[in-house]
A and B are shown apart, each in its own frame.
Chain A
Amino acid sequence: MSTETESSSQFDSLKERWRPRIERFRRGWDRFTQEKMGVLGIIIMVVFVLWALFPDFFAPHSVEWRAYLGTEPGRLTAEQADSLPHPPAFGDPFWAPLGTNYVGQGILSLIVHAADDALYIGFAAGLLSSLVGVPLGLVSGFYGNTWIDETIQRIVDVMYGLPFLPFLIVLVAIRGITTTNIILGIAVTSWLNNCIVIRGETLSLKERSYVESAKVAGASDTRIVFRHIMPNVLPLAFVFLAQDAATAILAQASLAYLGLADFTANSWGLMLQNIKSNGYVFDAWWWLIPPGICIMLIAAAFYFIGFSMEDVTNPQEDS
């Protein structure tokens, strides 16, 4: 008995503690949903997340499926081989709404099955570059104009001098072409803007009176940075996380175009690379256009959500 009341009172206090946060979140959410752009981003994101979680439900076939293979095992007839890549058509002998590629895989199935790869690359690279950029920006801003700040800023200078994509090619060449290494490479090269903006924000935040009072109250530097300043830069960090995610997805597509993608994975960038290397760029529009649109939509969704967040955290009065 006693344990039960204890746990319920614990629960109550937990609820008490979380109520203001939930309230704040709800207010933020209300403001967010006023922006059509952010809602659009969320809708696109939800669709892609569903694709990633339940590909078999949305895709007509698995990745292994080949047109004709079901009816005639073994070699294709010359006529069948000629019809590949197969354009989308009514009365297919098989069910491939967006046509097939040159080996007979359904385009729609490939598109749906590649969603998890894009989301993984986006979120992983975005999170990683935030994990590097935000703390460095915070430290650099908090110790502004000391040797710590100088050192970090010189590192940023050096990294700025290296062009992003060529540098990424070298990194991937050193470490081997796998999705993990591509993500690491993107994270290593894309934390710069993050760091610079967070630094600027921290520089202005640390002059605020509440930081002063925390200092007078004897709070340690670590505590001031992480308890008092960081919560205020987090919304901004989130905006950059979304932008980095979008950049990462586009960078992966560019790498794939140059032939530097993981060929065992299934990604939209790799689909585009396949079109080019097999010479179907101008002959198979049903194969060329969907992957590009998907890359565009997922990157745009990240941008939409990021920039709407900026409006939520930094509301502008409507004129």
Chain B
Amino acid sequence: MNWLTRLLSNRTDTASLDVALRDAIANWEALAAPDLGTAHFETRYVVINTEASGLDLDKDRLLAVAAIAIDRERLSPHDSYYAPLEPDAATALTNLLTFVGKGPVVVFNASFNRSLLERALDEHLRLTPDWTWLDLHWILPALYDEHIDRPARLGDWMKAFGIETFQRHHALGDAWAIAQLMLAAQARARSLGLNTPRSLADLEHSRRQLRRHG
């Protein structure tokens, strides 16, 4: 988000935020952009997942955020984050930023998750992160077309891989399943010579194009 939008916005000023939060945001902003050309085994991806009051972007609101890191192709339970937005949305979102860093981020169904999250970040923190979003919704069928050859629901992919989670439709519970899918995605991508976040982004891009024109 640039200075112009911020200036034109009529929402709460970030100046009203707690000092600690402002520091945290400043620290986050100062982080260097990730190198999208590094290999998977040198990259920290963060799976982000949201939980909303419903599926209507116009009416429903964000209830909770969850994130799980996949660092060097491993998933560690300690490298994870979960917070409901009530009662303190600004803190929950600032901590999410701190946890995620500058990405790349992995989501399942970006159109919903991303819109919901960007709106909340804009509303509470007045910023829109410049993350590289990788959407498994598009990437998985490109990599594992022997399982499902078109964009499908998370539940279908979980079934295809036999993945289970402790709680469906919970931000972290679904993030756990998405993260496992990401592990699988990395391995298949690597075997196809797609070794970097950038190559995953390119794969997703070409898939979307194909879909649009095909």
Instruction: Specify whether A and B are partners.
Output: no
Binding site for A on B (CB under 8 A): none
Binding site for B on A (CB under 8 A): none
